[in-house]
Amino acid sequence: MARITASVYTSHVPAIGAALDLGKDHEPYWQKVFAGYEFSRQWLKASKPDVIFLVYNDHANAFSLELIPTFAIGTAAAYAIADEGWGPRPVPEVKGHPELASHIAHSVIQDDFDLTIVNRMDVDHGLTVPLSLMCGRLDPARDAWPCPVIPFAVNVVQYPVPSGRRCFELGRAIRKAVESYDQPLNVQVWGTGGMSHQLQGPRAGLINAAWDNRFLDRLVAEPAALAATPHIEYVREAGSEGIELVMWLIARGAMSDVALSAAGGATGTQARAPRVVHRFYHVPASNTAVGHLILESA
C-alpha cells in the first residue's frame, strides 16, 4: 500500500524563484532565506519520495475569472511551466502521476469532496517555487525534479474560498485515498503558500510574526482546533493573502495522527504525533513572511 511518510509546508514567494533563476541566492538579502532550506534540500534527497502531492494555489495563470474550481486535481502526465508575464521560469517540466492522481480523485470524490479533474494545465510560482526551495536550482535541459508531482490547486484568490475545516477534512480523505492505493509508494504531501502577507490596499506589506509563529505551533500540536479558525481571522491577522495558509491544513489533515474519518477512531489505534524535523521562519522575503516546516509520520 502507498503511505504518506511526511508533510512539508512552505511559502511560495515568487521573488524567491526569480532570485534563484537570476543567481542572486548568495546575495545577503536572499542568503538568509535560502539558508533556512539547506537542511530541507538534504532531507528531501534522503527521504526519496516516489510522489509529491503538492497543494498550492494558482494565481490566475491556469485559471481565470472565467472558471474558478475550489479544488482541482491534476491527472495529467506532464505540466508545462506557466508564463507569468516574464516568460516561463527556467525550471524542468513537471511530470505527473496520472494513475495515483486518478485513484485519489475517485476515492475523494466518492468521499463527497467535489474535485475538478484537470487533464491539462500550466503550473505557476505557487507550485514551482516550493519545488525550487526544496530542490535548489536545476537545469531544465539536463535535470529533472526528483519525482512525479500531483498538482492540487485550491482557490484562495477569488471569494468565496474554502474554510480551514473543509481543507483539514479533505486532507483526511486524501490520506484514506493514498492508503488504499495498491502500490508501495512513498508519498509526501506538501502544503504551500502563506505566511502573513498583503499585496494590496492600505495594509499592503502587513506582516504578523506573532500570529504566524502561533499558527506554526498550533499546526503541529492542535491542528483540528486550528482548522476551526474562520477565514476572516486569516484576513484580519495575516493579511488578505495570508488566507493561502488554509492550504497547509490539507497537508496536516493527511498526517497519520489525524483520525481517518471526522467521527474519529477509524484507524483503530491512536497514532502518534508527527516528528518536527525542521522549522524555519524569516522576515522579510519580498512582501511576505517565509514559514517552513517538515513533519515526518511517527
Residues that bind ligand DHB (CB under 6 A): 12-15, 59, 197, 199, 241, 286-288
97 an active-site residue?
Answer: no
231 an active-site residue?
Answer: no
Distance between CA 42 and CA 135 in Å, rounded?
9
Does the CA dihedral 157-106-112-10 come out positive or negative?
Answer: negative
Of 169 and 241, the one with the shorter C-beta distance to ligand DHB is 241
Of 213 and 286, the one with the shorter C-beta distance to ligand DHB is 286
Tell me which residue of 189, 196, 176, 187 sits closest to 248, measured CA to CA. Answer: 189
The three state secondary structure string of 80-125 is: CECECCCCECCCCCEECCHHHHHHHHHHHHHCCCCCEEECCCCECH
Of 155 and 287, the one with the shorter C-beta distance to ligand DHB is 287
Cell numbers representing residue 126 in the block: 505557487
Distance between CA 127 and CA 247 in Å, rounded?
12
CB of 201 to ligand DHB, least distance (A): 14
How many of the other CB atoms lie within 10 Å of CB of 164?
Answer: 25
**Cβ 189 vs Cβ 3: under 8 Å:** no
CB of 291 to ligand DHB, least distance (A): 12
Distance between CA 179 and CA 40 in Å, rounded?
25
Distance between CA 102 and CA 105 in Å, rounded?
5
CB of 298 to ligand DHB, least distance (A): 31
Q: b vs e for 49-69, b when ≥16 Cβ sit within 10 Å of the residue's Cβ?
A: bbbbbbbbbbbebbbeeeebb
Of 16 and 51, the one with the shorter C-beta distance to ligand DHB is 16
CB of 59 to ligand DHB, least distance (A): 5
Of 124 and 169, the one with the shorter C-beta distance to ligand DHB is 124
CA 172 to each of CA 97, 237, 258, 259: distance values in angstroms, whole numbers, following the listed order: 20, 27, 7, 7
Q: Which is the catalytic residue, given 59, 103, 125, 282?
A: 125
**Residues shown for the chain:** 298
CB of 19 to ligand DHB, least distance (A): 12
Distance between CA 236 and CA 234 in Å, rounded?
6
Q: Which is the catalytic residue, given 197, 278, 282, 292?
A: 197
CB of 288 to ligand DHB, least distance (A): 4
Of 172 and 282, the one with the shorter C-beta distance to ligand DHB is 282
- Please give the positions annotated as active site: 125, 197
